[in-house]
Amino acid sequence: MPDATARDLGERELIARVTERLEILGSRSDRVLLGPGDDAAVVVAPDGRVVATTDVLVEGVHFLREWSSPQDVGHKAAAQNLADVMAMGGTATALLVALVAPPDLPVDWALGVAEGLRDEAARVGAVVVGGDTAQGDRVVLSITALGDLAGRPPVTRSGARPGDVVVVAGVLGASAAGLALLRDGEREGPLVDLHRRPQPPYALGPALAAAGATSLVDVSDGLADDLGHVARASGVSVGLHRGRLEAVLPDGVTLEDALHGGEDHALAGTVPAGTPLPDGVVAVGRVDPGPAAVLLDGEPVRGGWEHFT
């Protein structure tokens, strides 16, 4: 049945097919002590701690089936969770996946999502270890990522200190710019691709943690909003240098996209002055004493966006 739906297969067979596509059993990851098929999975936590984060994607809110392939949706759902582990200075070990599917969802679509999840997780050596499915009106994907800190303290949002250098890594503003192009009818190109599949700089979270980063944050709601979290949690003023920021933007991306777009899953944070920066990390500003604010060339930047409004 090439056009089989979730209803045609039933839940148990759907889970069996998705599990097979995830190639979990064949992956023999040394991070997974017990994979899917039991009441719960067992994952290694080498230093006696585990990083854990959950993000949810809803069809029509976070993606459209017309604009993104199922593989794209799987990549993006995995990426936004793996990026949260990166932003603690950790490396993801495992994903758990809850899929709410309409009964008429094509099985091939669900299998495509599984492929995307599997392949994005593989970029950091993580595997999908468990999950659940249920029936609903719209596709909902809820992902939990687990991760390892390799013995280091987690890098929070609250450690930025006056005198620190503000740094960014990864691609800024491309997701918002790509979404605007999709809305204008474009269906191809590097920015559209980056909207469909963000490219978090996974290795640079642990690298910056090892280099002594004082704060790190996943850039999921735009640089203004996410560095605003650092400013508030640390009680500092985060100053951005317009010229340096503009110099790292890809073609076709505006400063507005980088400051106020969403879903880039880039990395931002602070390091003590004089810290040698790992390749791919760029200095774009400086931390000053509070009050908490994000400034661009000394002027306050508006922040934030809301999912319910």
Q: Which 136-165 positions form the footprint of its own copies (CB under 8 A)? A: 136-138, 140, 142, 144-147, 149, 154, 156-157
**Residue 274 CB, nearest approach to its own copies (Å):** 26
Residues numbered 224-253 forming contacts with its own copies, rule: CB under 8 A: 233
| Distances in whole angstroms, Cα of residue 282 to Cα of each of 6, 85, 172, 276 | 46, 20, 12, 11
- The SS3 of residue 78 is helix
79 near its own copies, judged by CB under 8 A? no
| Stretch binding its own copies (CB under 8 A), from 89-97, 164-172, 179-187, 255-263 | 89-97
Closer of 114 and 191 to its own copies (Cβ)? 114
20 near its own copies, judged by CB under 8 A? no
118 near its own copies, judged by CB under 8 A? no
Closer of 62 and 191 to its own copies (Cβ)? 62
Query: What are the b/e assignments for 132-169, b being 16+ CB within 10 Å?
Result: ebeeeeebbbbbbbbbbbeeeebbbbebbeeebbbbbb
Q: Judge contact between 214 and 159, C-beta under 8 A.
A: yes
213 near its own copies, judged by CB under 8 A? no
282 near its own copies, judged by CB under 8 A? no
Q: What is the 3-state secondary structure (H, E, C) of 240-272?
A: ECHHHHHHCCCCCCCHHHHHHCCCCCEEEEEEC
Question: Which two three-digit tokens encode residue 61?
Answer: 């809110």
Closer of 102 and 250 to its own copies (Cβ)? 102
Residues numbered 166-195 forming contacts with its own copies, rule: CB under 8 A: none
Counting other chains too, the contacts that 134-137 makes at CB distance below 8 Å and 24 or more residues apart are: 134/98, 134/99, 134/100, 134/101, 135/6, 135/11, 135/100, 135/101, 135/102, 135/103, 136/100, 136/101, 136/102, 137/102
298 near its own copies, judged by CB under 8 A? no
116 near its own copies, judged by CB under 8 A? no
210 near its own copies, judged by CB under 8 A? no
Residue in 4, 16, 23, 49 binding its own copies, rule: CB under 8 A: 49
Residue in 74, 90, 170, 200 binding its own copies, rule: CB under 8 A: 90
Size of the site for its own copies (CB under 8 A): 76
30 near its own copies, judged by CB under 8 A? no
Question: Which two three-digit tokens encode residue 17?
Answer: 């097919």
CA gap 127, 143 in Å, rounded: 12
Closer of 22 and 99 to its own copies (Cβ)? 99
